[in-house]
Amino acid sequence: MAEARTALEKAVSLASASQTARTALGMAQIRMGEIDAARRSLISAVVMSPGHSPAYAPLARIAKNDQDYAAAIKDYDAALDHNEQVAIFHANMAWALVQLDRKDEAITRYRKALDISPNAHDVRADFGALLLMMHDLDGAIREYEYIRAAMPDNTTATLRLAFLYAQTGRANEAARLCREVIQTNDPANRPAAENLLGQLQQAQQPQESGNTPDRTDG
């Protein structure tokens, strides 16, 4: 890795260095953890060819990791001008938009990402979480049902779907999903599933006791 980076640095030091060489150097520097140097290399690549540079995407990722969401959005937008059929660019841009409370724009980006890559289940889960945040419970349920249909062993999606069912009056279905998660013995999700199942069972107790005939003295 170090030898390859040294070769790239020599190439970039030449007056005729191309934006491709500068972008490659920036990517190598990212892999080496040299983020400030990578940012400089990638910016120099963009300066050389601002309209068609593949350096925008790694620049956007750096900005996203730095929590500079406005810069990330701008760079992902430029990267999509270069290639609009990359689902992860739309999804990452959507995530940055959510951080700036631009949720309606984020929904559009998530939908574009899923149109390109319908089986990107991580993206679909993030989209479902956004719909839940916006109180679109039916929309969130659709997304998590899609994930569960494709990945029935995904306990995280199953548990989130259980919570959504519980919030929409589908207690029996929620309880069934909780039991499925508990049976998997998944340490990451079992405690929450047990807690939700306990709440559901407790909520049913008054109704069940109300159906019991009153005792009378004989």
Domains of the chain: 20-117 (1.25.40.10), 118-202 (1.25.40.10)
How far is it, in rounded angstroms, from Cα 115 to Cα 123? 11
Q: For 84-116, write each residue's pLDDT tens digit.
A: 999 999 999 999 999 999 999 999 999 999 999
Query: What is d(CA 196, CA 123) in angstroms, rounded to the nearest whole number?
Result: 25
Low-confidence ranges of the chain (pLDDT < 50): 4-5, 12, 14-16, 209, 213-218
Task: Please report, to the nearest 10 degrees, the dihedral formed by the alpha carbons of residues 114, 120, 123, 129 taken in order.
Answer: 90
Tell me, what's the pLDDT at 174?
97
- pLDDT for position 17: 63
The confidence score (pLDDT) of residue 207 equals 54
CA angle 147, 97, 138 (to 5 degrees): 35
pTM, two decimals, is 0.79
3-state secondary structure of 160: helix
pLDDT at 215: 43
- DSSP code of 213? P
